[in-house]
Structure 1
Amino acid sequence: MDVVLTVVVPVYAVADYLHQCLDSIRAGLTPEENASVEVIAVDDASPDDCGAMLDAYAARHGDLRVVHLSSNVGLGLARNAGLAEARGRFVWFVDSDDVLPAGSVRAVLERLAETDPDVLLIDHLRMHEDGRLQTDASSALLAGPPDRHRLIGLQHTAWNRIMRRDFLAKHDLRFPAGWYEDVPFSNPVLIAAERLDVLNRVCYHYRIGREGAITATRSDRHFEAFGQWDRFYAWLDDAGADPALRVRVFTLMISHLLVVAGNENRMHPSRRRAFFREIAALHRRHRPTGYLPPAGASGLKHRLVAANSYPLYAALRAGYRLAGLRRRGTQRTPAVSPDIPSAPQRVKTTSIP
């Protein structure tokens, strides 16, 4: 039987979550459905027992292909290694600490058979370490018929889109090395798709707050986001994207980088000024004709970036944080900082070269 779907699972230092992830992929499939799916796990020179766990899992179940990399290359290049081995007509990148809820693969297979898209977008829930599930605010964008300008606002991740393999080859779409590797991959995937479809169903549980994820790691490697956005804009220039879409993408980019700048879990206070300056430089490089800052507090921060005014940004941020502390004191519930919106463009890695 022909392989319809290849699920690529990059693996790095996730021994506590690996079996749950792998078990969830094939759970509940009929023998015929199971035969149409292949799972390729890429051991990115994991420093824990993941490599041995994968070999044992493959020997026990017989339906897992394992690729062992000789050195750690990072999430993006590990995904590329799995893609190079794929035989399915479609490919789905699933992170090895995440979970597919029951029926997800069956629902995806059925929708792929119905619409035969270049790219199929799916919904997800955010999964906390205590097991609590939370709806993502971006999920509302999946309602209604596929609209590229609206859907570009979804999280720019690899795991919320299932892609035709020959479509990726035609457009030479692969992941770059480094952190924020999803930026110059996932955005072009959505923009280049001629047949774009949406499955408005929760098919993915995205784990947040895990120790080792870059969303919870303070590091200068967050500065790699700027190079990734530059790579995306180089692609965008070649693609000749329409002006309205460029404005939409630019607004999302600045908002994304402001989330990173304001996130205490990612940005050390001593590096926030330098990061803000890089946002301002990126703003100057890529600001499109017709761009206007958004309304409200978000737009005010966009204007401060345009003016390269870090002192005013820092004062504004301090005011928001103080107001948040006061709300927490009176309401006894966590307040959402304007720097960390409820549905940020989050990027996670399981492989840190």
Structure 2
Amino acid sequence: MPRFSVIVPARGVQGYLRACLDSVLEQDRQDGDLLELIAVDDCSADATGAIIDEYARRDPRPAALHLRRPSGAGPSRNAGAALARGDYLLFLDGDDTLAPGALAAVDARLRACGDPDVLLWDHERTDVWERRRPSGDGDLLRAAGDAVFDVARQPAVLGVEPAAWNRAVRRDHWTGRGLAFADGPYEDIPYAYESLLTARRVAVLDRVCVTWRERRRGSAATTPGPHHLVAVERYEELFDRLDGLLTEAGGGEGEERAAGEEDGRLPLLTVLHARMTERLLAVLDDPDRILPADRAAFFRAASRCIRRHRPAGVPLPAGLRSYRAYRSLHGARDLRRELAKELRDRGGAAARTAGRRYYGLRRHASLDPDLVLYGADGNRAVSGNPYAVHRKAQEIAPQLRGVWAVHEDARDAVPAGADHVTVGSRRYWELLARATYLVTDGDFPGAARRPGQLCLQTHRGTPLAATGLDTHRLAAAGPGPGRVLEHADRWDFCLTANQYAGEIWERAHPSGYETLASGFPRNDRFATASAADVRAVRAALGVRPGATAVLYAPARHDLPGDAAPLLDVVRLAAALGPRFQLLVRARPHDPWPPALVEAGTVLDVSGHPHVEDLCLAADALLSDFSPVLFDYANLDRPIVVHTAGWDAFRLTRGAYVDLLSGEPGDTPGVLARDEAAVAGAFHSGRWDGPPAASLRAAFRERFCRYDDGLAAERVVRRVLLGEDDLLPQLPPGERRTAPSPRAAERVLAQECGATRTLTGPGAVVG
């Protein structure tokens, strides 16, 4: 029988769940009898359930429980506890983690105390910047010392955070006292207090055992609304049951409690009341929980509760004497905040342009329900996922009017006939203010969130280098954390091509958007292109018939901190020889010898707007650490990775995947350090051999799962047409892949042969 049953309720935490589960499983002893892990998927819409199943398949210790309907954290914990076999129950939220060695320390303390009913421990808090702060419970825990007690003799411990995850409860105590979590918000308040109030033997461990993550969005606690009134109801129910709870607990260790003696209970009631008052006032003052329209109702409910259960001699906080008094104090605080903000912003006000002021005015005008504003590649192109969404919208939602936002110096990138607007112009601010839909793979300069407006973040690719908040500790740091969060707060939808990327977006760009497991719209072309399309794009680019076209598409090398070297294209072309043709998509690069260009050995495709066309034209991809690796894998064509500079890349840019590990799912194909090694891989046949094909298949399975050719339609229907559900993914057996250039040539040869047969001598033409 395991010593501990660790129950993890999880809903919509795909970005954090792996760290949570790993932190639990790493606690176990070699004999494997320390813990069992019960992970409960509360009908998550994201990949949370899939992650739980993945862990359960590869390790016998986790048990996966999938609830049939969304139930909330409380019922999820109760369902997990019903399956538990351990001596003690521990509850850990799916976005929190256990500290290394925590369970061993808890086990040692429990044994030293003779297995008490409840053991409390300390925790720390971490925010989106991974800054860690103490809980504030340390002094209370240290004051309790090494004694084993009941709360009547140590009432101060009722002041610790009333949470599910800062205690271990003996399973016999859980079942014997009928403990359970409530249904709905603030579900841990009854459990936290009742587990202590009904316990005969309580002990503490003065050690941080849990890191609790403060989420910005995505939970009931961070969503404003009237549901926060439930906090008052929880405390009302607790105080109404208090006499019965203390009577159930009976005497303390070694002596009988004098039930009903008010003097003996006064310290306990005082601590409970003080903790309740502090908690309810914190909720009342939190604008992320209580909307202005709900503040008066919450104040009155909280004030009644605090007054009703106030112990004799305890003063009433000044702000609770009346709502007018509270508003006066609250208004003074708000005024001080506004004055401070005005002083901070005063310098920036002078720089505010007339266009931005106009934008502010037009944001009060009605939204245009049929207007979609598109932007791509820093508003310097008409390409990528936004372009694919636009094309599909023209096909299935022609009532929508799409306009592209581009910078003045990029207007030549706009195709003929496409409606567009110059960033910063008066019309730009008008459209930005009134468009119902914003579709971008980056951002619209000057944009601010507006009620009723929907912003779709398509991204430019699956991330390999660190992104968002994950960049702030790297040498080549990206935007500051404040800008990252401000940017993410404008998103309503976030696209992902695979589960891996969805987990990263949620963790590195935390906010309240909905992640769509849609696939990347631009990659639809890899499933829909025909043999004729492949031949046409090769001809348009100037690829020689019969040549093996290698697309060289390294990561961008114009970013601060880049140290990964580019291949010498001239040397590489000479090493490959005349059978090969290099399509080079790299900026910046040195000029090439005219003879090389004139011979067509090297084609500069850096200015081509659609990378998906370049991929279709290529027999193989040669890249270093570019996200195009993930897209090209859809085509199931050979990939060669140039590995020079990998250590520098990881140091300066970070890397989520170890491309050089050689492990299936990490490495997409053959690895080569320099020009000679690249040429050797092609001349030897290793580039397209069975080992490379096996690695490529595993890489494709991991990173191309959502790309099935229907991504653009899926996105248009869900976001622009407002349909409730995404189109289902096509099963693997029903998906198609664009033919390779060799296969496209065979199709052409077959077509030509059929034509000659039909029109040659003796053919019957009728």
* Structure-2 separation of matches of 1:41 and 1:158: 15
Deviation at 1:264, TM superposition (A): 0.8
Q: Is the 8 A contact 1:247 1:291 kept in 2?
A: no
Alignment of 1:53-92 (within 5 A): 53-92=51-90
Match of 1:315?
A: 328
* Structure-2 separation of matches of 1:79 and 1:304: 37
Match of 1:226?
A: 232
Residues 296-326 of structure 1 deviation map (CA, whole Å, 9 limit, x = unaligned): xxx6xx2442x3x111111101223334566
Q: Is the 8 A contact 2:28 2:34 kept in 1?
A: no
Match of 1:209?
A: 215
Match of 2:308?
A: 285
User: Mean alpha-carbon deviation: is it higher for 175-184 or for 236-245?
Assistant: 236-245
1:329–1:161 distance in 2 versus 1, CA, 3 Å: farther
* Structure-1 separation of matches of 2:55 and 2:280: 39
1:46–1:170 distance in 2 versus 1, CA, 3 Å: same
Residues 153-189 of structure 1 deviation map (CA, whole Å, 9 limit, x = unaligned): 1110010011001011121111111101111110111
Deviation at 1:234, TM superposition (A): 2.7
Alignment of 1:1-353 (within 5 A): 2-32=1-31, 34-115=32-113, 116-144=115-143, 145=145, 148-240=154-246, 242-288=265-311, 290-293=312-315, 302-305=317-320, 307=321, 309-324=322-337
Compare CA radii of gyration and give the structure with the larger one.
2
Match of 1:341?
A: none
Residues 209-249 of structure 1 deviation map (CA, whole Å, 9 limit, x = unaligned): 33212332112110111221122123213134723211221
Counterpart residue identity of residue 209, structure 2:
C
* Structure-2 separation of matches of 1:19 and 1:330: 43
Counterpart residue identity of residue 112, structure 1:
L
Ranges in structure 1 where 5+ consecutive residues have no aligned partner:
294-298, 333-353
Q: Is the 8 A contact 1:9 1:93 kept in 2?
A: yes
Q: Is the 8 A contact 2:166 2:210 kept in 1?
A: yes
Deviation at 1:53, TM superposition (A): 1.5
Ranges in structure 2 where 5+ consecutive residues have no aligned partner:
148-152, 247-259, 346-766
Q: Is the 8 A contact 1:13 1:48 kept in 2?
A: yes
Match of 1:340?
A: none
CA RMSD of aligned residues (A): 2.1
Number of aligned positions between the proteins = 320
Deviation at 1:27, TM superposition (A): 1.4
1:202–1:270 distance in 2 versus 1, CA, 3 Å: same
Counterpart residue identity of residue 216, structure 2:
R
User: Mean alpha-carbon deviation: is it higher for 211-220 or for 75-84?
Assistant: 211-220
Deviation at 1:25, TM superposition (A): 0.7
Q: TM-score, normalised by structure 2?
A: 0.40
1:323–1:137 distance in 2 versus 1, CA, 3 Å: farther
Q: TM-score, normalised by structure 1?
A: 0.85
1:154–1:35 distance in 2 versus 1, CA, 3 Å: same
* Structure-1 separation of matches of 2:171 and 2:342: 52
Q: Is the 8 A contact 2:318 2:325 kept in 1?
A: no
* SS of equivalent to 2:100: coil
Residues 45-102 of structure 1 deviation map (CA, whole Å, 9 limit, x = unaligned): 1111211211111101221011111001111111000110000110000000001121
Counterpart residue identity of residue 102, structure 2:
S
Deviation at 1:265, TM superposition (A): 0.8
Q: Which runs of 4+ in 1 moved over 4 A?
A: 324-332
Q: Is the 8 A contact 2:27 2:103 kept in 1?
A: no
* Structure-2 separation of matches of 1:28 and 1:287: 43
* Structure-2 separation of matches of 1:160 and 1:286: 26
Q: Is the 8 A contact 1:122 1:161 kept in 2?
A: yes
